C-alpha cells in the first residue's frame, strides 16, 4: 500500500488542465497524493488529459474532471456551483487557463476575449470558490502570471482593446492584471489562513500560442528549441501549491522557485483596487451579497 503523500487528503482545482503547464501541474499534484479536479473546455481532450494525469497519480492521489468554457461567465458560475456542491473542501486553487489571441473578439458576455479568459476568469472563479477555500484553511491560491506583464501598456480606457488591439500587449495587460489581482486578494485575505501568490512558469513549449496571429505562431515555432518543457514550467506552480516551506507566504511573485520583483505598476495599490472594482462590475459580483 502506498504511504500517504504530502498532499494526501487535499483537494486541488486546476484550470486549463488539458495540456501544457496545466496538465503537468495536475499530474504533479496527483503524484503527491492530492485529489485533483481538472477543468477542461473540451470533453475529448479532457478525458485524454485525465488519463495522463491518472497514470502519474501516487500515494492515493486521484483525478476528477469538470467541464467549463472559461470564456463564458455562466459556465464559470456553473462550474463553481458544481465544485462547491461536490467537494467538502478546496485546499488549492490554481488559476492557469490562458491564451494569447491574435485577433480581437468578444465573448458571449460582450467582453474582449483575452481579458475575459486570462483575467476575469481568474477573478470570477476565485471569488465564487472563496468561501469553500476559506473553510479549508490553511489553503492556497496560485495564479499563473508571466514576465510578459513587463510589456503591458496599461490604459484604463483601452484594457479591452476598445481603441486599438495588439495581441501581445493584450496578453501582457492580462498578465499584469493577474498580478494586480494577486496582490489585492492577498491583502483582503490577511488573517484568514488563505495565501495568494503568482508564478511565472518560464517560456514554455505548449499549445498556448496556437490562437496567436500566423506571424507570431511562426516566431514561436522558430524559438521553440530554446523553450523549456511544460513539466519544467509547471515545477514552480506545483511548488507554490504544495511546498511546506511556503506556509504563510502570501502576496509573492515567484520565478524558478525564487521570489522575484514584479513591475512598479503591479504594486500600485490604487490600480489594484480600481481593477478589483472594475472586475466586480464586469462579472456582476458588485451586486451580490
Please give the positions annotated as active site: 171
Handedness of CA 142, 241, 98, 17 (dihedral sign): negative
| Cβ atoms 145, 253 nearer than 8 A | yes
Residue whose C-alpha is closest to residue 185's, from 107, 135, 256, 123: 123
Question: What whole-number distance in Å separates Cα of residue 118 and Cα of residue 99?
Answer: 7
Q: Which residues contact 147 (CB under 8 A, 6 or more apart)?
A: 200, 255
Question: What whole-number distance in Å separates Cα of residue 11 and Cα of residue 180?
Answer: 26
| Cβ atoms 56, 262 nearer than 8 A | no
Residue 202 in grid coordinates: 518560464
Residue whose C-alpha is closest to residue 193's, from 239, 247, 229, 245: 247
Q: Which residues contact 39 (CB under 8 A, 6 or more apart)?
A: 13, 14, 15, 16, 17, 66, 67, 68, 70, 79, 97
Residue 256 in grid coordinates: 524558478
Q: Which residues contact 25 (CB under 8 A, 6 or more apart)?
A: 14, 17, 94, 96, 234, 237, 238, 241
Amino acid at each position: 500500500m502506498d504511504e500517504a503523500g504530502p498532499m494526501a487528503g487535499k483537494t486541488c482545482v486546476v484550470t486549463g488542465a488539458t495540456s501544457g503547464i496545466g496538465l503537468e501541474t495536475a499530474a504533479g499534484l496527483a503524484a503527491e497524493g492530492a485529489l485533483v479536479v481538472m477543468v477542461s473546455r473540451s470533453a475529448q481532450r479532457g478525458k485524454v488529459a485525465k488519463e495522463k494525469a491518472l497514470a502519474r497519480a501516487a500515494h492515493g492521489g486521484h483525478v476528477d474532471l469538470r467541464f467549463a468554457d472559461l470564456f463564458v461567465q455562466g459556465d464559470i458560475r456553473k462550474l463553481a456551483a458544481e465544485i462547491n456542491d461536490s467537494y467538502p473542501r478546496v485546499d488549492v486553487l490554481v488559476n492557469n487557463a490562458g491564451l494569447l489571441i491574435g485577433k480581437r473578439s468578444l465573448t458571449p458576455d460582450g467582453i474582449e476575449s483575452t481579458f475575459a479568459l486570462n483575467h476575469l476568469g481568474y477573478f470570477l472563479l476565485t471569488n465564487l470558490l472563496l468561501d469553500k477555500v476559506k473553510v479549508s484553511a490553511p489553503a492556497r491560491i496560485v495564479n499563473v502570471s508571466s514576465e510578459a506583464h513587463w510589456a503591458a501598456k496599461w490604459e484604463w480606457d483601452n484594457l479591452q482593446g476598445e481603441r486599438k488591439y495588439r495581441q501581445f500587449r493584450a496578453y501582457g495587460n492580462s498578465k499584469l492584471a493577474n498580478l494586480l489581482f494577486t496582490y489585492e486578494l492577498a491583502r483582503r485575505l490577511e488573517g484568514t489562513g488563505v495565501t495568494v501568490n503568482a508564478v511565472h512558469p518560464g517560456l514554455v513549449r505548449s499549445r498556448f500560442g496556437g490562437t496567436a496571429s500566423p506571424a507570431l505562431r511562426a516566431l514561436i515555432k522558430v524559438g521553440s528549441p530554446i523553450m523549456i518543457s511544460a513539466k519544467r514550467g509547471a515545477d514552480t506552480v506545483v511548488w507554490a501549491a504544495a511546498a511546506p516551506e511556503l506556509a504563510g507566504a502570501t502576496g509573492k511573485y515567484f520565478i524558478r522557485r525564487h521570489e522575484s520583483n514584479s513591475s512598479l505598476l503591479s504594486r500600485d495599490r490604487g490600480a489594484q483596487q480600481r481593477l478589483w472594482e472594475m472586475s466586480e462590475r464586469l462579472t456582476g459580483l458588485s451586486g451580490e451579497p
